[in-house]
Amino acid sequence: MDLAEDLGVMAAAQQIHRLYADLRREREALAEANRRLERLAHYDPLTQSWNRYSIERALDAEIGAAEQFVVMASHCGLESGLGLAERLRAHVAALSVPGLSRRITISIGVATWQPGDTRKSLLARADAAMYRAKHGGRNRVES
């Protein structure tokens, strides 16, 4: 009886090992198929360069990165923050860029930390203030 049990356990172990090997091969095949799909989704098959979707996505990222930045001033209250923001706005407005016919302006939203704030809530208030500045006529500072 012990021999039969041992043979049964060995047969089951072999089958489990075979199934595991099959699963590993299937997983590798799926990963390769996903890599091919990813490539097809982002690259032109003829030129092997980015397709329109990838170009638009990269442009959106670059444009988004060019419009917004954060200045963090430690130990600064609302009045000091508004003063700093106004100085930044004025300096940017005074810039003259060769080859650019129009002046550069910025809209700034100022928010100060409040008890219970998270980084998300603080940035959300700064964003809201910035959008108020933009909607209020641009080239402004709002809190």
Catalytic residue list: 67
Rounded CA-CA distance 100/76 in Å is 35
Contact 107, 74 (CB under 8 A): no
Q: Which residue type, as a one-letter code, is found at position 135?
A: H
Say which residues have a Cβ less than 8 Å from residue 141's Cβ, sequence separation at least 6.
82, 85, 86, 89, 107, 108, 109, 110, 133
